[in-house]
A and B are shown apart, each in its own frame.
Chain A
């Protein structure tokens, strides 16, 4: 091996990590052992490398660094898992909401429970030997304070109902003699312009006629719809204050 080749190969003959084939390494070492120029040169190079390497690696490791690293990694891992769970929670929440909506819709779509007692009690306002105060009690029990027509002929009274008109609950009385009938709607004048209804609307039609009566205080109007052919049922005496026909 000549000196030029030896010096080129020297860089690859690192003592602790040679990067030469064994044959090349042996040839180089043989040349360095014999050559008065390359030998000292290589020795100096290797001394320098040895000292620099030692200095490079001489560095105290901070106390407890190992534990700090493991703690940090554990914290990071938990944080990442939490973030991952948070992202998973979003679609999970959406799915739960959809499920709840579906269950809710199914629940409400089911046929409703029928309370026969309630229906019988609420809708069937049959009164035996009715008097105005009995009618008023009936409606008061259902949350409607009203004044039943005192001068009505309760001999024709059939039943009473709670009706809804313009979003308000009102009392309705039904009178009949078996041939014709009359429905009496008790309308509070504070809620309904009863007189205006009589002025601006036709008060009769096919098979029906209407009249409006008032209680003496004027707080209630009694809209009476007469049904059936022939003479209207005489629910109110002719002398009562009235509007309409």
Chain B
């Protein structure tokens, strides 16, 4: 029996971005099945521990809710391994162009964010036990997890008293991407093209939605 849930992640390192809850759970289910993003056909994941919307187009879970308290600048660098190439590279290559083309070195500015109270919140209608089990395997959130961004110190999954429109709408404001015909959405809600259900990287399924501002 699905319950109204509030999910909280307590962070221990700054993050670059936060995924919606259905995407996070979808990634964990995909990992369980041994699927690798970008390889093989896209397999629909239809057994998330979440309730589906009445229209069946998306899962009833919100996007991440977090207030940014502070941004910090960071850089992403790449340098062609010249020293290694001198040792191991094939003799035919006499010149490496590191100013342009495939070997170009770069230093791209980016930023990380510290969120208020180091806490990220999601709302969902789903099975508490299974949600807790899947999230237990999530140790980092969002982009650049490979270098430690969005480290999670602990997860909290609790039942909550639902409100009108729970968990995707709050006082007429969407808490996730919703179809434009979704009832109860404020007329001035922002619109953008979004993918409604995971995998969210499958952009060809994007459609016009009302989205959180």
Same complex for A and B? Answer: no
Interface positions of A (Cβ within 8 A of B) = none
Interface positions of B (Cβ within 8 A of A) = none
